[in-house]
Structure formats: C-alpha cells, structure tokens
Amino acid sequence: MSVFSVKIKGLSSADDVFSTLANRVVLVVNVASKCGLTPQYSGLEALHKELAPRGFSVVGVPCNQFGGQEPGSPEEITTFCATNYGVTFPMTEKVDVNGDSRHPLYDLLTATADSDGHAGDIRWNFEKFLVGKDGAVLARFSPMVSPDDAVLRAEITKALG
C-alpha cells in the first residue's frame, strides 16, 4: 500500500495532505512543540526549502502522546511553528502514532525498521520516515537523527534520483 493513498487532513484544513505530494520524496516526522528535540524544526525547514525544487517535502505530523508535549490547538501549533521556526512545509492534523487509536498512516509506517532493527511503535517525538516517489517507505530514522545527518541526507538524495 502506498503512503500517498492514506488520507490525513491538514492541520488547518480538511484537505488531504498527501493528495498534493504524490510523485515527490517525502520525510514524514511526528512533531511536538514542547520537546527537547523541537529545535529540529529549524533543520527540517532548511531541508525542505533546499530540496523542494527537486521534488522533496517534509510533512510534520503533530502528536501529543509523548509527555503531553504537543497540547496546542491547530491554530496554536501553526502559530508556534511559523513564528519560532518559519515552518512552511505541510503539517497534518494532530493524531495518535501508537496504540489503539493509531492513525492508519502510522500502521503503515511503523512496519519499517530503522538501522538498529527497531520496527513497531514510535519511540518519541521527531521519528522520521523517508517515503519514495511511489509512496513506498524507504527508511526509518531515530528521533535522535538530526535533519542534517549525512546518512539521512544521502538517503534523500538517492530517493530523489
């Protein structure tokens, strides 16, 4: 199943986020505004701006399941991201990434293991999934892997072709 076939609403609209991203390479990241890793927003935005002309997009997926670190409303999240980090990449509605209420997107993503062999539940905010132009999950990266990590960037470049 293609990630692009999964329906997920935008943070500030009912539009399906992935409907406009088919045939692009996408980095899906579960995000939070009050986390020690929140400064990764800067690197994600830089990556998005640099590579968007080549067919790349970051997609942020707000989640409040880890220490209640994304408690805000859609408006509060949008304002926080734009004001503090200049975020222009697409953001989805706030969803659960683990448990019985896990969004179908994460049912698909979490089947992929990272380089340490971890598959299954999301461990923390800012876990990253690289999705190819065909909607297949290509790689999974730990929350501790920064957006400017050489291995992450190499995988994105390879997927862009």
pLDDT tens track for 13-23: 889 999 999 99
Please tell me whether the overall predicted TM-score, pTM, comes out greater than 0.85 for this model. yes
Candidate list 35, 47, 91, 139, residue with the active-site label? 35
The whole-number average pLDDT for the span 72-98 is: 97
Quote the strand ranges of the chain, DSSP E: 25-31, 56-62, 128-131, 137-141
Verify whether residue 35 is a known catalytic residue.
yes
Structural domains in the chain plus CATH codes: 3-160 (3.40.30.10)
Quick: pLDDT tens for 128-155.
999 999 999 999 999 999 999 999 999 9
For residue 92, the one-letter residue type is T
Which two three-digit tokens encode residue 142?
């730990």
Strands 137-141 and 128-131: antiparallel
Which two three-digit tokens encode residue 7?
């329906």
Query: Angle, to 10 degrees, between the axis of helix 40-51 and the axis of helix 74-85?
Result: 80
- Are the C-beta atoms of residues 58 and 89 closer than 8 Å to each other? yes
